[in-house]
Structure 1
Amino acid sequence: MSLDFFQNTILEDEMVLLRPLQATDVDNLLDISLNEPETWEYSLVRANGKENLENYIQIALKARENKTEFPFVVFDKKSGKYAGSTRFYDINITFKTLQLGYTWYGKEFRGTGLNKHCKYLLLQYAFETLGMERVEFRADNNNLKSIAAMKSIGCKVEGVLRSHMPTLGSEVRRDSIILSILKNEWFDEVKSNLKAKL
């Protein structure tokens, strides 16, 4: 099945609901944007402050329009609050590959298990509905928390792209670590191991 970029794709379980990001989600995410600037320490596109958040969302929506990304807003059912955002990007239907990233949550949602629920739903959709063969993840090689989170859901490290891209507002270039999950790995072990952690 191909990804319908204009469909109102909703992924949910008992803990979390992911729905397509909308322009009006500025209001839902503004509290995190204004009060938690550390959330974007390793981000290449900052969403701190209302203007940056509006810009962040507009860039994501334009990419969806161009059929290169599919951004979601994350709603935490237990607290009844919006928790953050995540997306599929670098989507290549012909090669059956995509990347999963641009993931961020407010601090009250980190370490709660929310991320594992999100990743389970997104990976299940990627491999079982879209028929992807490979889902890739990238991070700043200094972002140890993010790398640990990716490993904990079953990602395998492939390597590091040295001096891969500039960091925001700096002359310093970042090394990017590449991790992935393959379709057979999802069905053989990653799915059951991740489900056991939910």
Structure 2
Amino acid sequence: MDFDFSQDLILEDEKLLLRSLKISDVENLIEFSINEPEIWEYSPIGAEGRENLEKYIQNALKGREDKMQFPFIVFDKVKGKYAGSTRFYDINIPFKTLQLGYTWYGKEFRGTGINKHCKFLLLQYAFEKMQMERVEFRADNANKRSIAAMISIGCKVEGVLRSHMPTAKNGIRRDSIILSILKEEWFLEVKENLRKKLLL
């Protein structure tokens, strides 16, 4: 399948809406950037403060222009508020693989179930519309909350890349854990198991 990076996407269910990230979304996300800098504790790219948030969004949009990334903003339909951001990245159409990450939410949205709704919509689109064979996830191996969230949606742990990359914290290097879901796993068990969790 040829994925059209120029199209704007909207993915939604009864709880949340994902739409293509735009430069104007600085205004929708600036509250998190100013008031919750801890969001980027484990991120390789920080977005605290307006200038850094603008760079963060510009980099995401450049990745879309280069046909390597597709970033989204997350809107919580229950609360009626923007909740955070996520994206497809390292998209390799010939190999039918991509990574799902750069996911973050403001603190009032954590533990509310929106992450599972978000991942369901994105995984469904990746496997069923984009025809991906593999969706990969990565995280700082010290970020236990993020790792637990990925395992809870059905990701399989593959291993750890030691001293893999610098972080936003003064160049401190992190170990990166690698997880993934394969297309057959999505259709055999992950999709249904995750759908059941959305009903809890």
TM-score normalised to the size of structure 2?
Answer: 0.97
Shift of 1:170: 2.8
Where does residue 93 of structure 1 map in the other structure? Answer: 93
Are 1:11 and 2:11 an aligned pair?
A: yes
* Paired residue secondary structure (1:4): coil
State the Cα RMSD in Å: 0.8
Where does residue 24 of structure 2 map in the other structure? Answer: 24
Where does residue 69 of structure 1 map in the other structure? Answer: 69
Q: How does 1:13-162 map to 2 (within 5 A)?
A: 13-162=13-162
- Aligned partners of 2:45 and 2:167 also within 8 Å: no
* Paired residue secondary structure (2:4): coil
Q: Deviations over 1:29-55 (max 9, x none)?
A: 011111111100001111111111111
* Paired residue secondary structure (2:23): coil
Q: Distance in 2 between matches of 1:174 and 1:20?
A: 29
Q: Deviations over 1:75-101 (max 9, x none)?
A: 000011000000000000000000000
Q: Distance in 2 between matches of 1:171 and 1:144?
A: 21
Q: Distance in 2 between matches of 1:190 and 1:96?
A: 19
- Aligned partners of 2:8 and 2:20 also within 8 Å: yes
Shift of 1:171: 4.6
Q: Distance in 2 between matches of 1:178 and 1:157?
A: 6
Q: Distance in 2 between matches of 1:97 and 1:38?
A: 30
Q: Distance in 2 between matches of 1:98 and 1:139?
A: 15
Kindly provide the amino acid, as one letter, of the partner of residue 192 in structure 2.
S
Identity rate, percent: 74
- Aligned partners of 2:69 and 2:91 also within 8 Å: yes
Q: State the aligned residue count.
A: 198
Q: Distance in 1 between matches of 2:11 and 2:192?
A: 18
Q: Distance in 2 between matches of 1:148 and 1:85?
A: 19
TM-score normalised to the size of structure 1?
Answer: 0.98
Shift of 1:167: 1.9
Q: Distance in 1 between matches of 2:119 and 2:41?
A: 21
Structure 1 gaps of 5+ residues are none
* Paired residue secondary structure (1:24): helix
Q: Distance in 2 between matches of 1:173 and 1:6?
A: 34
- Aligned partners of 2:137 and 2:180 also within 8 Å: yes
Structure 2 gaps of 5+ residues are none
